[in-house]
Amino acid sequence: MTPPRFSRLVLGWLAPREVRETLLDDLDEMFMSRAAQDGPRRARAWYRRQALSGLASLVTMRARGQQPGEQVPNLRRFSHEALVRDIRYTFRMLRRAPAFTAASVLTVALGVGATTTVFSVV
């Protein structure tokens, strides 16, 4: 089972030489795992979406005159999985530092209370 040839060809042709092999290898690896998990049809659709997203990033990067090693803006859409992953990470980090967590919660509570009081008086 191979990734969609046309998408791979176009992405490989437009990608900067410095990141081409890494980009294509990563996409191929994820394609194989998705094909085993979701089936080849869904994996091909996923690969095409990723190729289009990559092309949009490359066009944006070239339009801004950025080099391949520079930070490239993330043009992906908001995803529910990313939000859940970020929230889990946040709580995991807060659990590791209970003193920081307590100070943060206390600071936010005082700020909200003070703001409410000022607006109530005004």
DSSP class of 108: H
Average pLDDT over residues 11-20: 78
Average pLDDT over residues 62-81: 62
Q: What is the mean pLDDT of the chain?
A: 82
Instruction: Give the pLDDT score at 112.
Output: 97
The yes-or-no verdict on residue 79 having pLDDT over 90 is: no
Nearest Cα neighbor of 47 from 80, 77, 86, 5 is 5
Model confidence band, residue 10 (pLDDT cutoffs 50, 70, 90): confident
Model confidence band, residue 29 (pLDDT cutoffs 50, 70, 90): confident
